[in-house]
Amino acid sequence: MRNHLSKYILIFSFTIMITSCQKFLEEKVISQVSYQLYETEEGIEGALVAAYNTLRLGVYSEYMLTLNDAGTDLFALGSDGNTAFNQYLATLSSQVGKLNNFWDYHYKGIAECNVTIDYLPKVEMRAARKVEMEAEAKFLRAMYYFDLVQQFGNIPLVLESYDKAKTDFKRAAVKDVYNAILNDLNYSYANLPAGGVARGRAYKAAAAHLLSKVYLSRGSAVSQTQREIRGTQASDMDSVIKYSKLIVDQQLGNFNLVDDFAQLFNIQNQVNNEVIFAVQFTENVLDNDNGNQMHLYHVPQYDAVNTKILKRSVEYGRPYRRLRPTPFVYDGLYGATRKYDSRFVKSFVWGYIANAASNGIVTTAGNTINVNIGDTAIYFSPVYYNTETELQAAIQENKRFAVYLPFNTYRPVSMNFIFPGLRKWLDPLRPTTNETRGSRNWVMMRYAETLLILAEAYGRKEDYANAAYYINQVRKRAAYKEGESKTTQYWTFEGGDYADRYKSTVAEMEITSADISSNFVDYMLDERGREMIGELNRWEDLVRCEKLVERVRKYNPEAGNIRDFHIVRPIPQSHIDRLSPRGSDSEEQNQGYY
């Protein structure tokens, strides 16, 4: 029945092509399913489950990656990446398939939410469960719309289900979409259960976190134009503080930071008290559909450097190399405290160990060596080299390594296949080396972000003392703790004292209000980058702060084509083509894309 339901539910989505709808209606199995299905407890629960499952589509492929991390200040093009999004080429147009897929799966989820909400009154079931289900559906609908409005601006606002194809949708103003999102979330917060252990379902804390993030997004506008577009209210930051503090003050559950930043991304530790809401996957391949494929996209082509000593493995990942970090990530983002901030080491894969033995290996420095299993095969330097002479001297000094590539000596496109890869999404539980269907959960909301949201709200109100207080909670977790061993980078490249390799760096990581008051928004973007790099939120962060064009031009050497109109995406042409009646280009499409 669930498979029938997942097919049948699509008819409610206006995003399905008319031709697809016609073919869909011709399938014999559909004629066996009645709309009355949704008037049963089994059917309505199935509709809600479908709305949850549709969230998975964001990481089934690279939709969320491409629209949220590509072409930002933190990520540039990898050797197999999408040039249109990474470099803002003319090919970033309404014809791009990834835009259509992103649009379609979000409206599919919205349609499933609308079915749940509209049919609930007709179902005989416990009244309390009805209210709870409506709150869950409205929470999910708000999530889908929040993604869409940040990416596309004016979008169709569909708040009811349809029993036949509809083609006359008009785009709603951004401020109206924000109001609808907030209406849904306020209902959800009021009616969701107070807590629970199933982080894959909505509870009050998840609604509070999303409320705080939506208010922050609406209230982050600086220019009068954007304030009018989003409908910014003077009370937005107060609302952010209200809802985020409910979580931070533990009124909605016992959420806290995982002690060690590295353990936060240990796949054996996915269920922890930092997770507020996650899209869940399973190690059972048969139940995992396409799985979470994010483990593919940040992996360098390590197995192409020296195939005699370094072979592709489950641990190191399958190298799709869609994105690579910009020079800014390694040089500027962590700033003067880089050697004290464990996130710098723990977020990336700095070295690869030989998993095959071979004699007579010629190193980058021109030396011939024998390599055993367990020897270092690749090591990335955290040092900037200004000249080729300095670079070659460093290679010679470290001749033991088969490859020694300083990442801050920025390489042209020909070298964009080898770089320190992001560790956060790696999935060592895959059954085989080439298996793409990963089982890692997609953590969409975590407590560290709640703290940063709260801090940003205080800072935007110019209460820098409170802002620093909550930022420091995140930064103290990022520090090395007393007795924790630092990596060799600390004393070999960063200038640290070998004798201090077990010393706490908490004091060095703490900041004061004076450290953040002069350029607060950029500081917060940097801190969010240090904490949340690669967690599928960067493009939207830059847009909401009105910093996308400025920071991309400043920090991403390959994205010089970016223009002011790139703060929204083009409306998919496939959607426009199925509108009837269809308005003018200026009515249906975003400026700059027609």
- Comparing CA positions, the residue from 394, 29, 456 lying closest to residue 237 is 456
Q: What is the pLDDT of residues 360-378, one digit of tens each?
A: 887 766 778 888 899 888 8
Pair 592, 565: CB distance under 8 Å: yes
Please report the pLDDT score of residue 153 as a whole number. Answer: 98
The CA angle 25-28-32, to the nearest 5 degrees, is 95
Q: What is the pLDDT of residues 435-466, one digit of tens each?
A: 999 999 999 999 999 999 999 999 999 999 99
The CA angle 278-283-288, to the nearest 5 degrees, is 70
Please report the pLDDT score of residue 447 as a whole number. Answer: 98
Instruction: Please give the average per-residue pLDDT across 571-575, as a whole number.
Output: 97
DSSP string, 243-270: HHHHHHTTSS------SSHHHHT-GGG-
CB count within 10 Å of CB 172 equals 19
Distance CA 424, CA 345 (A): 12
Instruction: Please give the average per-residue pLDDT across 559-573, as a whole number.
Output: 97
The yes-or-no verdict on residue 140 having pLDDT over 50 is yes
Please report the pLDDT score of residue 378 as a whole number. Answer: 82
Least confident of 91-105, 305-319, 498-512: 305-319
Instruction: Please give the average per-residue pLDDT across 57-78, as a whole number.
Output: 97
Q: What is the pLDDT of residues 271-295, one digit of tens each?
A: 999 999 999 999 887 788 899 999 9
The yes-or-no verdict on residue 49 having pLDDT over 90 is yes
- Comparing CA positions, the residue from 219, 84, 67, 154 lying closest to residue 548 is 67
Quote the pTM value: 0.92
DSSP string, 410-461: ---GGGTT-SPEE-TT--TT-SSTT---B---EEEEEHHHHHHHHHHHHHHT
Distance CA 262, CA 444 (A): 18
Distance CA 146, CA 213 (A): 10
The larger pLDDT score, comparing residue 2 to residue 489, is at 489
Average pLDDT, the chain: 89
- Domain ranges (residues) in the chain: 2-292+570-588, 296-422
Instruction: Please give the average per-residue pLDDT across 2-31, as a whole number.
Output: 32
Please report the pLDDT score of residue 335 as a whole number. Answer: 82
Task: Taking the CA atoms of 123, 128, 133 and 134 in sequence, report the sign of the dihedral they define.
Answer: positive
Helix ranges (H only) for 299-432 are 327-328, 342-346, 388-397
CB count within 10 Å of CB 124 equals 8
- Comparing CA positions, the residue from 168, 438, 186, 190 lying closest to residue 299 is 438
**Residue with the two structure tokens 């910093």:** 547
Instruction: Please give the average per-residue pLDDT across 536-543, as a whole number.
Output: 98
Q: Which residues contact 295 (CB under 8 A, 6 or more apart)?
A: 317, 318, 425, 426, 427, 430, 438, 440
Q: What is the pLDDT of residues 418-433, one digit of tens each?
A: 888 999 999 999 999 9
352: helix, coil or strand?
A: strand
Q: What is the pLDDT of residues 222-254, one digit of tens each?
A: 999 999 999 999 999 999 999 999 999 999 999
Distance CA 377, CA 402 (A): 5
Instruction: Please give the average per-residue pLDDT across 347-351, as a whole number.
Output: 92
Domain 2-292+570-588 is found in CATH 1.25.40.390? yes
> Per the structure block, which two tokens stand in for 35?
């709309």
Please report the pLDDT score of residue 284 as a whole number. Answer: 85
In the chain, what percentage of residues exceed pLDDT 90? 76
Instruction: Please give the average per-residue pLDDT across 18-46, as a whole number.
Output: 59
Instruction: Please give the average per-residue pLDDT across 142-160, as a whole number.
Output: 98
